Amino acid sequence: MSDITTFSELIDKLITINIKLYNVMEATGTLANKDTRTDSDMTKLANLNLQNVELVKLRSKLKSAIDSKLNEAIKSGNTDVLNEVKRYGN
């Protein structure tokens, strides 16, 4: 995570990981709910479970990095928001 330095980069990566995790869970559910599973299905399920674990670990690291970056910004007082972002909500 050290190569990612901005909130937007961390959030973009987190969104991507969440989408990948959703897709893995959908595929897992589809295979797990089949009435009969082949050896190929079982291999796919095993691989999906491995992907699930890795994605959850990565998501946890990203969330921690976001929390750390936010705490760092709050402590330093460096929480500027672009003017166009401020005006967007009005």
27-45: per-residue pLDDT in tens?
Answer: 999 999 999 999 999 999 9
The better pLDDT of the pair 84, 35 is held by 35
The better pLDDT of the pair 9, 85 is held by 9
Q: Long-range contact list for 21-26, CB < 8 A, 24+ apart?
A: 21/52, 21/55, 21/56, 21/59, 24/48, 24/51, 24/52, 24/55, 25/52
What pLDDT is stored for residue 81 in this prediction? Answer: 54
So where are the chain's domains? 7-84
Residue 25 pLDDT more than 90?
yes
Residue 51 pLDDT more than 90?
yes
